[in-house]
């Protein structure tokens, strides 16, 4: 109280010159313990979660991932695999002392960036995280290389199931789709080899030629990496559906069932791939062949447009995964879904945004505080992959539960299966 009174005495003369009382409030706010704003945020979060009209779906989603832990573990493994690739490839490790885990002992001496310093780098990842719930929630590279080997080796009969599903669904066009998928899978296998051997080929091909080759391989491999992510998402949706219906399943059969459902989702995934290639990948690829000024400056805008497109048609993927229909049928069904359930869908999007925004802010603050402490960075990214995997898996399972609730017109009354 003495501190407050001193500050108030110091600023009281300003009030007679019509300075607003905001100055007084600012002085009081500076001397509040930091715990109070945190408690306010936690209280507001609790109120939103308790009063939200989608709270039943969120609760069902949590019970689903508690029963089938593979849902969140899948996202955590893929996220950590991508971080490990970036860490090994781009981090300048001079010796093992750089990875000393004792770096976290100096935690009290770290410089913690303020929210105003890092918030600008969080909206775009937050938007992409929300969009991923309805499309492809994680980056599959470099584990996509292993998946390409498994697919070509017909692991669990998935290659054969894909061929049969494409032929049954698309007939002649199924062969063309399979050829594109096979070509992109081969590019995914070549991608790490090209990047690894690139410096040694400098004597055979010019630097510009090497960059063009690597960019072409990367753009082609993107198709397989994206479609693999979509298949994983469809598989996890079927796992959630099995929990909702209370049915048991044999693992290999569920993989093949998800592949058959994936053949229906492939129509919409093809649209997303085409748009992404047109506004994101193609300009980057052409920049290696011709001069396109400021191509990287337009990349954030393209990413925003892609995320908005996916969110605007958020129920198309899950509708195709759960029903035998075409994109032409799924899009009118999507608009009907929006018209009937706009309120609950809006609440769900807000809750998704809150969670992704919070973890992105935490990531930005931690990275800023860690700086060049590589051991601490490794531990944080391992924790972040776990945290993001849990949140993404929970929100995906909640989305499946919400969609089924809205589909059947059920808000309350029917008791969900307990495990």
Whether the predicted pLDDT of 33 surpasses 80: no
SS3 string, the chain, reads CHHHHHHHHHHHHHHCCCCCCHHHHHHHHHCCCCHHHHHHHHHHHHHHHHHCCCHHHHHHHHHHHHHCCHHHHHHHHHHHHHHHHHHHHHCCCCCHHHHCHHHHHHHHHCCCCCHHHHHHHCHHHHHHHHHHCCCCCCCCCCHHHHHHHHHHCCHHHHHHHHHHHHHHHHCHHHHHHHHHHHHHHHHHHHHHHHHHHHHHHCCCCCHHHHHHHHHHHHHHHHHHHHHHHHHHHHHHHHHHHHHHHCCCCCHHHHHHHHHHHHHHHHHHHHHHHHHHHHHHHHHHHHCCCCCCCCHHHHHHHHHHHHHHHHHHCCCHHHHHHHCCCCHHHHHHHHHHHHHHHHHHHHHHHHHHHHHHHHHHHHHHHHHHHHCCCHHHHHHHHHHHHHHHHHHHHHHHHHHHHHHHHHHHCCCCCCCCCCC
**pLDDT of the residue at 333:** 92
Least confident of 34-43, 247-256, 286-295, 400-409: 34-43
State the Cα angle at 146 between 130 and 204, rounded to 5°.
105
How far is it, in rounded angstroms, from Cα 170 to Cα 59?
Answer: 39
**pLDDT of the residue at 204:** 76
**pLDDT of the residue at 301:** 94
Whether the predicted pLDDT of 93 surpasses 80: no
Kindly report the average pLDDT of the chain as a whole number.
85
**pLDDT of the residue at 111:** 86
- Do 363 and 382 form a contact (C-beta atoms < 8 A)? no
Better-scored residue on pLDDT, 261 or 412: 261
Whether the predicted pLDDT of 402 surpasses 80: yes
Q: Write out pLDDT tens, residues 329-341.
A: 999 999 999 999 9
pLDDT band at 21 (very low <50, low <70, confident <90, very high): low
Whether the predicted pLDDT of 414 surpasses 90: no
Q: Write out pLDDT tens, residues 108-131.
A: 778 888 888 888 899 999 999 999
How far is it, in rounded angstroms, from Cα 139 to Cα 123?
Answer: 18
**pLDDT of the residue at 95:** 67
Whole-prediction pTM: 0.86
Whether the predicted pLDDT of 68 surpasses 60: yes
Better-scored residue on pLDDT, 213 or 227: 227
From the CB of residue 289, how many other CB atoms can be counted at a distance below 10 Å? 12
Percent share of the chain, pLDDT over 70: 85
Buried b (16+ CB within 10 A) or exposed e, 15-44: eeeeeeeeebeebeeeeeeeeeeeeeeeee
Domain ranges of the chain: 33-408
Pair of tokens at residue 45:
């979060």
């Amino acid at each position: 109280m003495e501190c407050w009174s001193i500050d108030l005495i110091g600023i009281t003369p300003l009030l007679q010159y019509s300075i607003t009382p905001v100055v007084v409030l600012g002085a009081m706010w500076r001397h509040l313990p930091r715990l109070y704003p945190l408690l306010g945020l936690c209280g507001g979060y609790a109120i939103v979660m308790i009063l939200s009209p989608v709270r039943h779906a969120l609760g069902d989603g949590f019970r689903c991932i508690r029963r089938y832990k593979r849902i969140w573990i899948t996202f955590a493994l893929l996220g950590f695999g991508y971080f490990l690739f970036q860490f090994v490839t781009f981090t300048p490790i001079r010796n093992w002392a750089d990875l000393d885990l004792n770096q976290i002992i100096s935690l009290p001496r770290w410089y913690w960036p303020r929210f105003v310093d890092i918030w600008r780098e969080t909206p775009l990842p937050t938007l992409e995280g929300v969009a991923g719930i309805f499309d492809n929630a994680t980056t599959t590279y470099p584990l996509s290389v292993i998946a390409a080997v498994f697919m070509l080796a017909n692991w669990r009969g998935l290659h054969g199931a894909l061929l049969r599903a494409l032929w049954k669904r698309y007939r002649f066009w199924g062969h063309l789709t399979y050829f594109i998928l096979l070509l992109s899978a081969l590019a995914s296998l070549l991608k790490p080899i090209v990047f690894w051997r690139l410096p040694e080929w400098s004597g055979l091909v010019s630097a510009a030629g090497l960059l063009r080759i690597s960019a072409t391989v990367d753009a082609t491999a993107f198709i397989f990496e994206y479609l693999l992510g979509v298949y994983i998402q469809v598989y996890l949706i079927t796992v959630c559906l099995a929990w909702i219906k209370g049915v048991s399943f044999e693992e290999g059969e569920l993989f093949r069932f998800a592949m058959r459902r994936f053949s229906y989702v492939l129509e919409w995934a093809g649209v997303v791939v085409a748009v992404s290639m047109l506004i994101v990948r193609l300009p980057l690829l052409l920049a290696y062949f011709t001069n396109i000024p400021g191509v990287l400056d337009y990349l954030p805008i393209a990413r925003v447009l892609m995320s908005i497109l996916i969110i605007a048609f958020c129920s198309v993927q899950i509708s195709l995964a759960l029903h035998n229909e075409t994109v032409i049928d799924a899009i009118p069904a999507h608009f009907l879904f929006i018209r009937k359930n706009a309120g609950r869908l809006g609440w769900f999007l807000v809750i998704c945004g809150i969670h992704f925004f919070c973890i992105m802010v935490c990531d930005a603050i931690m990275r800023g505080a860690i700086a060049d402490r590589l051991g601490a960075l490794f531990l944080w990214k391992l924790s972040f992959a776990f945290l993001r995997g849990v949140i993404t898996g929970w929100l995906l399972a909640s989305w499946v539960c919400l969609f089924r609730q809205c589909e059947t017109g059920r808000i309350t009354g029917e008791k969900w299966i307990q495990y």
